[in-house]
A and B are shown apart, each in its own frame.
Chain A
């Protein structure tokens, strides 16, 4: 009985340690790449939705839902990046390169979703394309 209780306690302590210990450089890199991939997917999808909107191929509720889904994905990515501590200088540099791109994705998705005219939407699509490309470069550079 005592042995079982100790084993459970040990397992619990191990899990608690695993869950709370700060990430090392490789763990941080993995998190950063996941964040970049999420932001990239959202930017690429947002650009695709915007292009179809410009061609008159989407119903408004579908476009609104697609932007909403993309914004939610980016918000999740931002939260994940914000909660991870960069363990060294290289990780901090990666964060400083990634964070503005994730922020830009969220901003341009919101601009596309609320675009009142074609020109604004076209600009937002171009910006999303550009951000998706830069996120793709970042992923390739760090893979």
Chain B
């Protein structure tokens, strides 16, 4: 019974924890401008993150070590340094975007400008990561993030035109007034939002924090193959809700206040309150994950003591990196860059860094020295290789598309 409850809790936190500021922004923006013509990209991204998160979880459960640690050992410090540089840059930027997202959610609740919330959020985040237990943080924010289910419920009240949605989803392409360049720019951003590099490192390091062993493989797989797709469903609901409310108006979405409106239109103040709570939990939870992920990767690269299982005094350098990452994230926001714009840039850079993250994972997941008989099978390698090609294409196209479309402005 206890095991079943643990699995159920893991699924729920995986669902609630799947969505972050990148998913919120990318799905709402794409929905308003293209309807659900990008539904296939979301599906592609969710299957991809499931494939690689499963590999990371398996590597951790069997070897008892985090993926990044093994990447450095297996591929050497130079390759691992390229991996570290790419993923750390994107993860710290994402951390800034998540802190900004928390500020924007608090602005929606209080009307106090988000920049005034940013230092407060940073301090609370640092204290929470310093003091609170890993499992407590993961469960509280994962479960609260489930409030975003309000967007799924809202769909039943908004009565979207199912025929039109099916038409858009089954005939991908830009609607009248949009061009193919912008369509592909949003496709790359959506794909990057689903396959953010920090997710696999956090998932793997979290597995070590929770002391996964080979017997926990089932739990890990259930979390990934049930929790992540259901989390993807929340992201899809954001896309459909945005398409239903904003596409008929011909209006694009570029503010978090707009993303919340479909919940209010469908369900009134109760729906709106749930949406704001969901935004807060999703972004704060992701801020914790990105903060920890930054510190995990640096500490694992240099071989320092790391993790929330150790006392801060025993992992002083890990906690120092964590604090510096939060400060850098705050500094980026203090340039007054719009957090939504920062998120858009983060998604583009994320797309560029994807191959640096996923190729080493595929290599490690095929190493019998670490995994014995649990190395990738034909299916996992086939899927992994297919996604490497997609990831390379997205990485190559990201910057040119950003320049040609002026960040999707057309």
User: A residues touching B (Cβ–Cβ < 8 Å)?
Assistant: 34, 37, 40-41, 44-45, 48-49, 52, 55-62, 64-66, 69-70, 73, 132, 136, 143
B257 touches A44 (CB 8 A): no
B250 touches A44 (CB 8 A): yes
B251 within 8 A of A: yes
B135 within 8 A of A: no
B272 touches A58 (CB 8 A): yes
A48 touches B257 (CB 8 A): no
A66 touches B258 (CB 8 A): yes
B324 within 8 A of A: no
Shortest Cβ gap from A70 to chain B (Å) = 8
B261 within 8 A of A: yes
A59 touches B251 (CB 8 A): no
0/1 string, B261-273, CB within 8 A of A gives 1 = 1001100110011
A69 touches B269 (CB 8 A): no
Chain B residues with CB under 8 Å of A57's CB are 264-265, 268-269, 272
B258 touches A69 (CB 8 A): yes
Chain A residues with CB under 8 Å of B73's CB are none
B177 within 8 A of A: yes
Report how far A132 CA is from B108 CA in the complex, Å.
Answer: 25
0/1 string, B238-275, CB within 8 A of A gives 1 = 00000001000111101101101100110011001100
Q: Which single member of B250, B260, B409 contacts A62 (CB below 8 Å)?
A: B260
Q: Which single member of B177, B245, B255, B269 contacts A59 (CB below 8 Å)?
A: B269
B335 within 8 A of A: no
Report how far A6 CA is from B265 CA in the complex, Å.
Answer: 59
B265 touches A65 (CB 8 A): no
Chain B residues with CB under 8 Å of A52's CB are 261, 264-265
A49 touches B250 (CB 8 A): no
A40 touches B251 (CB 8 A): yes
Chain B residues with CB under 8 Å of A56's CB are 268-269
Q: Which single member of A34, A40, A69, A136 contacts B257 (CB below 8 Å)?
A: A69
Report how far A61 CA is from B114 CA in the complex, Å.
Answer: 12
Report how far A75 CA is from B198 CA in the complex, Å.
Answer: 36
Q: Given A52-B264, A66-B257, do A40 and B250 touch, yes or no (CB 8 Å)?
A: yes
- Please report which residues of chain B, range 377-410, place their CB below 8 angstroms from some CB of chain A when the two chains form the complex: 409-410
B107 within 8 A of A: yes
Chain A residues with CB under 8 Å of B250's CB are 40, 44, 136
> By DSSP majority rule, is chain B's interface helix, strand, loop, or mixed?
helix
Shortest Cβ gap from B343 to chain A (Å) = 15
A-B contact count (CB 8 A): 69
Shortest Cβ gap from B34 to chain A (Å) = 15
A62 touches B177 (CB 8 A): no
Report how far A58 CA is from B272 CA in the complex, Å.
Answer: 7
A62 touches B249 (CB 8 A): no
Report how far A22 CA is from B409 CA in the complex, Å.
Answer: 21
A59 touches B258 (CB 8 A): no
Shortest Cβ gap from A86 to chain B (Å) = 21
- Please report which residues of chain B, range 264-297, place their CB below 8 angstroms from some CB of chain A when the two chains form the complex: 264-265, 268-269, 272-273, 276
Report how far A47 CA is from B64 CA in the complex, Å.
Answer: 56
Shortest Cβ gap from A51 to chain B (Å) = 9
Instruction: Identify the closest chain A residue to B114 (Cβ).
Output: A65
Shortest Cβ gap from B160 to chain A (Å) = 16
Chain B residues with CB under 8 Å of A62's CB are 108, 257, 260, 264, 272, 276
Instruction: Identify the closest chain B residue to A129 (Cβ).
Output: B249
Shortest Cβ gap from A33 to chain B (Å) = 9
Q: Given A59-B272, A62-B108, do A37 and B252 touch, yes or no (CB 8 Å)?
A: yes
Chain A residues with CB under 8 Å of B409's CB are 34
Q: Which single member of B251, B261, B268 contacts A66 (CB below 8 Å)?
A: B261
Q: Given A34-B409, A59-B272, A62-B257, do A48 and B249 touch, yes or no (CB 8 Å)?
A: yes
Instruction: Identify the closest chain A residue to B106 (Cβ).
Output: A61
Q: Given A48-B245, A66-B261, A69-B257, do A61 and B108 touch, yes or no (CB 8 Å)?
A: yes
Report how far A61 CA is from B252 CA in the complex, Å.
Answer: 22
B110 touches A61 (CB 8 A): yes
A66 touches B255 (CB 8 A): yes
B254 touches A73 (CB 8 A): yes
Instruction: Identify the closest chain A residue to B32 (Cβ).
Output: A41
For the complex of A and B, the 10 pairs showing the least CB-CB separation, nearest first, are: A61-B111, A69-B255, A66-B257, A44-B251, A44-B249, A41-B251, A57-B268, A65-B257, A64-B111, A57-B264
Chain A residues with CB under 8 Å of B316's CB are none
Chain A residues with CB under 8 Å of B249's CB are 44-45, 48, 132
Chain A residues with CB under 8 Å of B272's CB are 57-59, 62
Write 23 A-B pairs (CB below 8 A) sorted by A numbering.
A34-B410, A37-B252, A40-B250, A41-B251, A41-B254, A44-B250, A45-B251, A48-B261, A49-B261, A56-B269, A57-B268, A57-B269, A57-B272, A58-B269, A59-B109, A59-B269, A60-B111, A61-B109, A62-B276, A66-B255, A66-B258, A70-B255, A73-B254
